[in-house]
């Protein structure tokens, strides 16, 4: 019921208010382009993301569901809350990208980071755990160093709907939003090299 209300409510005031923040919107666009993500920040996408943002929040046990509609109303009057929507969008799009990366690409990505262990524990391990329990990636002979680890270079095959479900189930709204915020505030907080991660050499079998 709350989601249906929000669908109607976002049709006017919220979308208009969110679109006013052209500076943050442009920063998100620039970052999406930098990460090779072809997501268009059009009103339809923003509407869908605003709805998802609050559904995700309501499902997070650390949030109080009773504050669901109150939080939606904050979007109209609070610029920081509107920024959180853009932070969430960027964070969520990056998490979806990482869910679709092979474990070999994961390894290359976290090794680029300044704080490798924190990045590994916060993002990579939860994604790989989700891959395992959903049988998207099934490790074989993972403890045998010289085994042919085909699973390690396997590209996950995940439908768009399943991808959203996995990202929502794996990461809290807070983690997702903070991920996007950190990148908007400090672009180099996530070290990234598209050719290194996704070029032909990334498909090498070892």
DSSP-derived secondary structure letter, 61? T
Q: Count CB neighbours of 39 within 10 A.
A: 18
Rounded CA gap, 56 and 174, in Å? Answer: 10
Contact by Cβ (8 Å): 52, 113: no
Ranges of residues in the chain whose predicted pLDDT is under 70: 1-20, 61-82, 142-148, 200-206
Q: Which stretches of 56-196 are assigned E, i.e. beta strand?
A: none
What pLDDT is attached to residue 203?
Answer: 53
Contact by Cβ (8 Å): 43, 15: yes
Q: What is the pTM of this model?
A: 0.84
What pLDDT is attached to residue 75?
Answer: 55
């Amino acid at each position: 019921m709350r989601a249906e209300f929000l669908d109607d409510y976002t049709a006017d005031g919220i979308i208009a208010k969110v679109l006013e923040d052209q500076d943050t919107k442009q920063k998100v666009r620039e970052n999406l382009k930098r990460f090779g993500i072809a997501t268009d920040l059009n009103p339809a996408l923003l509407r869908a993301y605003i709805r998802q943002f609050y559904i995700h929040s309501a499902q997070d046990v650390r949030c109080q569901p009773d504050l669901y509609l109150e939080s939606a109303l904050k979007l109209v009057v609070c610029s920081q809350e509107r920024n959180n929507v853009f932070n969430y969008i960027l964070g969520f799009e990056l998490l979806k990208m990482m869910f679709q990366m092979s474990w070999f690409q994961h390894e290359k990505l976290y090794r680029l980071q300044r704080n490798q262990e924190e990045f590994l524990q916060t993002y990579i391990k939860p994604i790989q755990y989700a891959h395992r329990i959903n049988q998207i990636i099934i490790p074989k002979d993972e403890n045998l160093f010289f085994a042919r680890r085909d699973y390690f270079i396997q590209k996950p095959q995940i439908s768009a709907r399943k991808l959203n479900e996995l990202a929502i189930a794996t990461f809290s709204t807070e983690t997702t939003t903070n991920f996007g915020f950190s990148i908007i505030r400090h672009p180099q907080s996530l070290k990234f090299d598209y050719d290194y991660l996704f070029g032909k050499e990334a498909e090498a079998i070892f």
